Amino acid sequence: MLPLLSSAGHNVTAIDLAASGIDPQQIDAVRTFSQYSQPLRDYLASLPPAEKVVLVAHSFGGLAAAQAMEIFPGRISVAVFIAAFMPGPSYSASTLFQEVYLNQEGPQLDNRFTYENGPNNPPTTLTFGPNYLLRNLYNLSPIQASPSLTLSCTRSFGWVNCQCCISRVK
């Protein structure tokens, strides 16, 4: 998205949420949804008073965008959810999480789960494998999207983040 928006003349700032993309934090240091979404809130709080933004959210960033829309309604002109979690009045974050990740049918291919709370408890992290990403998540990406760049930014996703946000984002 960033190259397309930039080439169309838009001023684009990409925000990586905590322990995501190039953010230096490690996933085990991010224990709450508030910590996870802090980079977006910090960015919006730093804007000049009259400036408005268009938020473009992807994946779990949709929950952070929804939260930001509630906290900073005067700073957000519109939000666009692209293959993103988008909670609603009758579709909570926990329902989205369950349907997308826990009840997913089909092969997990090379995905890796960790069970830091023991094998009889839900997984604590998920790392999407390269085959899974290319086959299921980036299979329709345009040629401009570099698979090697995408794969180099892949990091573990903490389930704890979703458990913490369930009561806050609905």
Q: Is residue 129 part of a domain?
A: yes
Positions in the chain short of pLDDT 50 = 160-170
Domain total in the chain: 1
- Give me the pLDDT at residue 66, please: 92
Alpha helices per DSSP H over 47-154: 61-71, 93-97, 130-132, 147-152
Give the separation between CA 150 and CA 121, rounded to whole angstroms. 30
157: part of which helix (H) or strand (E)?
strand 157-158
Range of the domain at 137: 2-165
Q: What pLDDT score does 65 carry?
A: 95
State residue 17's pLDDT score.
92
**Is 76 part of any domain?**
yes
Enter the tokens of residue 26.
Answer: 């490690």
Rounded Cα–Cα distance for residues 158 and 165 (Å): 12
pLDDT at 126: 80
Asked if residue 117 is part of any domain, the answer here is yes
Mean per-residue pLDDT of the chain: 80
What is the rounded CA–CA span in Å between residue 103 and residue 111? 15
37-76: pLDDT as tens digits: 999 999 999 999 999 999 999 888 999 999 999 999 999 9
Q: Is position 170 within any domain? A: no
Q: What is the CATH number of the domain that holds 23?
A: 3.40.50.1820
